[in-house]
Structure 1
Amino acid sequence: MRVVLQRVKEAKVEIAGQVNGQIKQGLLLLVGFTDGDGQAEIDYLARKIVNARIFSDEADKLNLSLLDIGGEILSISQFTLYAQVKKGNRPSFTEAQDPKLAQLNYEKFNQALASYGPKVATGVFGADMQVSLLNDGPVTIIYEA
């Protein structure tokens, strides 16, 4: 399981010109799954992400978590995180998890995030989405399990 986290001031996802999910301050997550990923990886990364101390405190130190600031999450499925690009010019996506299982895991991941209390907005699994964000920092971290 791979998650690219970006700290944002705001973010939204549109599908066919309609806003599907939108947040204010918080985290934009790009989420991908590979073979063997399941509940253990989901639980581990959900806990790590909501508790990551990457928001500034009163001394301007990265010392506060999403939960501390009452932030929100926009979670976007992205199988292309498992692109293989060593051979040729066209990426291979054979390391991405089977779509049916990946969709189930994506839904479980979003539920795991929400169980900690933040608002979790999402895209639509497999849809052509346009994601807009105002990056904060910038702070971008890649998580793997």
Structure 2
Amino acid sequence: MRHLVRGFRFGFIVLALVAIGSVALLQAQTTHQHPQPGTHPSGGAHRHPQAAKMTNPVQADATSIAAGKSLYDKHCAGCHGETGKGDGSMGADLDPKPPDLTDAEWKHGSTDGELFLVIRDGARNTGMKPFAKKLTPHQIWDVINYVRSIGPAKSH
């Protein structure tokens, strides 16, 4: 009987150590990953230096800009306004107010890569929700091409 109890204790201790090690390993792996689509990064894309290095793989041609405008009208104009001035009816009560997208720079990033992450992941403590589940990456790039077409094309 004593051997059975001793064997049970040993098995329990080994199981507990394996569980603790697994949790520590999992935590270490997830700490170094890039933010997952649909999550709010802390403070917006400017917290992710890799975003500024991302380039838009979708050519800003008439087809992409037209597709981006259609998506913008459906998903963005309510807050950012029909012309991108930040004066949409749904954005009137937001604090902070939606940015004027015809300006050259915005608080949460102004490069194409930063815009991509803000659209995909949203921006914490703002009304900007994530669109990762509503728009494909290609569609997000189309929206960026449209936004670039209505304002200064700086900071690509």
By the TM > 0.5 criterion, same fold? no
Task: Compute the TM-score of the two structures, normalised by the length of structure 1.
Answer: 0.32
| TM-score normalized by the length of structure 2 | 0.30
Find the structure with the greater CA-based Rg: 2
* Higher strand proportion: 1
